[in-house]
Chain A
Amino acid sequence: MAVKITQLAEIVGEVFDDETVELTEATTAKDVEGWDSLSHIRFIVTVEQRFKIKFTSREVENLRNLGDLLKAINAKLPS
């Protein structure tokens, strides 16, 4: 079962204060209020814990938007 953007939206709501923003695959950190380098760490860690996966350093560095993150998550989950 592929992870969907709505599941990421839920985590965004937990991690950041911004609860109004519309999330799409093109959403980046600067679209969301309070998404800075430290809350980014919290975000990635929360995603890892929720889906029981671990990203490599390179995977984290290559993320540009939520679409990239979805792809990275789904690549790690059994299909």
Chain B
Amino acid sequence: MVSLVELAWLRRAPEDFRDRCRALAERVKTSDAAYDVALFDLSNHALDINQLGRIGKVAEARRLQPHDTLFGRFRLGLLGSGTLTLIASAIPGSGLRHLTLIDVVEGEYGHSLEQALDPQSRLRSASLDSVLLAFDYRDLHLDVAAANAHEAKAKVEKAYAYLQAIGESLRPGVSGPLLLQTVAPPVEPHYGGLDAAEAGSPYAMVQALNAKIVRWTAESDSVLVDVARLASVVGLNDWHDPRHWHSAKLPMAPQFVPLYADLIARTVAALRGRMRKCLVLDLDNTLWGGVIGDDGLEGIVLGQGSAEGEAYLSVQRAALEYRSRGVVLAVSSKNDEAVAQKPFREHPDMLLKEDHITVFQANWQDKASNIRLIAERLNIGIDSLVFLDDNSFERELVRRELPLVAVPELPDDPALYARTLAWAGYFDAVAISEEDRKRADFYQANAARSATLTASTDLQGYLRSLEMVCAIRPFDAVGRARITQLINKSNQFNLTTRRYTESEVAAMESAPDKFTMQVRLADKFGDNGMISVIVFDKAGEVWTNDVWLMSCRVLGRRVEEAALAHICAAARAQGARKLVGVYLPTAKNRMVADLYGRLGFAKIESRPDGGTLWELDVDAYHTPDFPMTIDAGAAG
């Protein structure tokens, strides 16, 4: 079976791990983009607690360097039961693996509620992005059975009220949502086999509390960290080690700390929108058994009737389920294209059809080149890709050429591929939005649009033929989740790369000094959903750009021009005379360095760091003709 506790989807740690750690520690002051990739790559192994502690120190040193290339940043508070230091020291190293420098601020041992209530406490004064509440059933007094159902209910209520009081005291001081952990249930049966039926058993009380915690996350912006699920999957009997609880109040056996820390790091990264977006699939011996080029349509193993055939079906089913959650599917296979496509078209047991695959690369080039091309075609970063291949040679090649692609190790048996991929958690989101469910279709429609463009030489004519409708609205509660997602993950077409949390976005909805826009684009091929977010700061006659970002899916459609026309109209109506454009350079947004210039702004300042300021006279602005219908709604 897949050994989750040993992070089965990751490579084993290299022999020279300590030397590489030391070398990176020495070079941290001169760290650059290549350094960050090397640090990520070293973290992207199955590391034990000692190794996580060691690389975590390098992560800490890197965090103190001010420049950013690859890694995002996050300050996480940690409050809960028992000794959390072992956990706290494993999180920064695990964060690297998820492209985030996590600064962990640990609450003091014991008296959690007092720390939450005291505005002077370390946790309250640390400007945190979030706090993880990590409590143990013993600390919540659920280790002693209740005499009857009535008393059990009271005990659960009391434990829940305690957690809520802590959560609600901390929430106003953190910029993002709280992370709420479920409680790992006890191992020892109290009423033997009747525990689940007896409300007063510690087991039943913990289950009742967990149900309340889950409801809490559903009814607030808090995010669920389902440790009860994780612990039961790997085995509660091992998870709870009484020796370690008695001697050091460790809430879990130390060997589970790397797995637990990875779950925390992955959740934090998802809060920042840094989950993976595209699954690149190999074909032979990954989606079916055998080699289509050698064995032919009749020879490959797939479908009901054989254990192996069912195993490959389960891989295809998993891929389809990811797709329905918004993950884009692509194929990279060493095959002749026509041969590789044959099963998709003609094999009756194939669950995956050509329509499900957005980019299909079957040729004899190396896979790294093909994967690079897939990222380009989809207009997403290499660090958004996951590559699934049974062949360890191909996996290593891709890792060496493209270290930022996530390449899971796979067990020998295809029956375990889907499970390994699922527990790697590459696509884990903190919430599933309607837009996520439709995303794969957007990319699909885009591929069709590209085909139309190839056939057309007249760009304006092409744009007009798309029958685009551009809908512009101010920020509102309905769009809030998607606005926040875009603000936190758009890198390329992003003028300022300023990140805001969902609550900050919510505050902008009614802020009198903010002009906000969410932009959607539909065309005859489909609805692209929300593709642009813009915020200006209003100060009398001068409006200054705070956020301007756009999805690269709609590059070249003149949406940015339509947006500017809308801004100018609003500015004019509210008596503003001047727009100020701000460009703040990052490693990824060079494509918009001259955006304001292209839109007719004049440059008024160039800073030494490459940042620029631009100005546009609102009165002198003329609205051009757009190849789309603008729907500005009732409000402006």
Q: For A79, list chain B residues within 8 Å (CB).
A: none
User: How far apart are the CA atoms of A38 and B84 in the complex, in Å?
Assistant: 10
Say yes or no: is A60 at the interface (Cβ < 8 Å to chain B).
yes
Known: A14-B50, A15-B50. A41 touches B243 (CB 8 A): no
Contact with B along A39-79 (1 / 0, CB 8 A): 00110011001000000110011000000000000000000
User: How far apart are the CA atoms of A15 and B52 in the complex, in Å?
Assistant: 10
Q: Is the CB of A46 within 8 A of B86?
A: no
Closest A residue to B254 by CB, please name it.
Answer: A45
Say yes or no: is B247 at the interface (Cβ < 8 Å to chain A).
yes
Q: For B89, list chain A residues within 8 Å (CB).
A: 38
Q: For B254, list chain A residues within 8 Å (CB).
A: 41-42, 45
Say yes or no: is A37 at the interface (Cβ < 8 Å to chain B).
yes
- The number of residues on chain B lying at the interface, defined by a beta carbon within 8 Å of a beta carbon of chain A, is 18
Q: Is the CB of B85 within 8 A of A57?
A: no
- The number of residues on chain A lying at the interface, defined by a beta carbon within 8 Å of a beta carbon of chain B, is 14
User: How far apart are the CA atoms of A71 and B138 in the complex, in Å?
Assistant: 35
Q: For B53, list chain A residues within 8 Å (CB).
A: 42
Known: A14-B18, A49-B255. A41 touches B50 (CB 8 A): no
Contact with A along B71-98 (1 / 0, CB 8 A): 0000000000001011001000000000
Contact with A along B347-379 (1 / 0, CB 8 A): 000000000000000000000000000000000
Say yes or no: is B49 at the interface (Cβ < 8 Å to chain A).
yes
Contact of B86 among A13, A14, A38, A60 (CB under 8 A): A38
Q: Which residues from 19 to 60 on chain B have a C-beta closer than 8 Å to any C-beta of chain A?
A: 48-51, 53
Q: Is the CB of B50 within 8 A of A57?
A: no
User: How far apart are the CA atoms of A46 and B247 in the complex, in Å?
Assistant: 16
Say yes or no: is B246 at the interface (Cβ < 8 Å to chain A).
yes
Closest A residue to B22 by CB, please name it.
Answer: A19
Closest A residue to B243 by CB, please name it.
Answer: A57
Q: Is the CB of A60 within 8 A of B49?
A: no
> How far in angstroms is the closest Cβ of chain A from B20?
14
Q: Is the CB of B50 within 8 A of A60?
A: no
Say yes or no: is B244 at the interface (Cβ < 8 Å to chain A).
yes
Q: For A57, list chain B residues within 8 Å (CB).
A: 243, 246-247
User: How far apart are the CA atoms of A51 and B122 in the complex, in Å?
Assistant: 40
Known: A14-B18, A49-B255. A42 touches B246 (CB 8 A): no
Say yes or no: is B248 at the interface (Cβ < 8 Å to chain A).
yes
Closest B residue to A14 by CB, please name it.
Answer: B50
Q: Is the CB of B244 within 8 A of A41?
A: yes
Closest A residue to B247 by CB, please name it.
Answer: A57
Q: Is the CB of B18 within 8 A of A41?
A: no
Q: For B85, list chain A residues within 8 Å (CB).
A: 38
Q: Is the CB of A60 within 8 A of B247?
A: yes
> How far in angstroms is the closest Cβ of chain A from B295?
43
* Residue picked from A37, A41, A60, most chain B C-beta under 10 Å: A41
Q: Is the CB of A42 within 8 A of B50?
A: yes
> How far in angstroms is the closest Cβ of chain B from A45?
4
Q: Is the CB of A38 within 8 A of B83?
A: yes
* Residue picked from A45, A56, A57, A61, most chain B C-beta under 10 Å: A45
User: How far apart are the CA atoms of A15 and B49 in the complex, in Å?
Assistant: 9
Q: Which 9 pairs across A and B sit closest by C-beta, in order of nearness?
A: A45-B254, A14-B50, A15-B50, A57-B243, A38-B85, A42-B49, A41-B248, A42-B50, A38-B86
Could you jot down 25 A-B contacts, CB within 8 Å? A13-B18, A14-B50, A15-B50, A37-B248, A38-B83, A38-B86, A38-B89, A38-B248, A41-B86, A41-B244, A41-B247, A41-B248, A41-B250, A42-B50, A42-B53, A42-B86, A42-B254, A45-B49, A45-B254, A45-B255, A49-B255, A56-B243, A57-B243, A57-B247, A61-B247
Q: A41-B244, A45-B255, A56-B243 are in contact. List 12 more A-B contacts (CB 8 A).
A: A13-B18, A14-B18, A37-B248, A38-B85, A38-B89, A41-B250, A45-B49, A45-B254, A46-B50, A57-B246, A60-B243, A60-B247
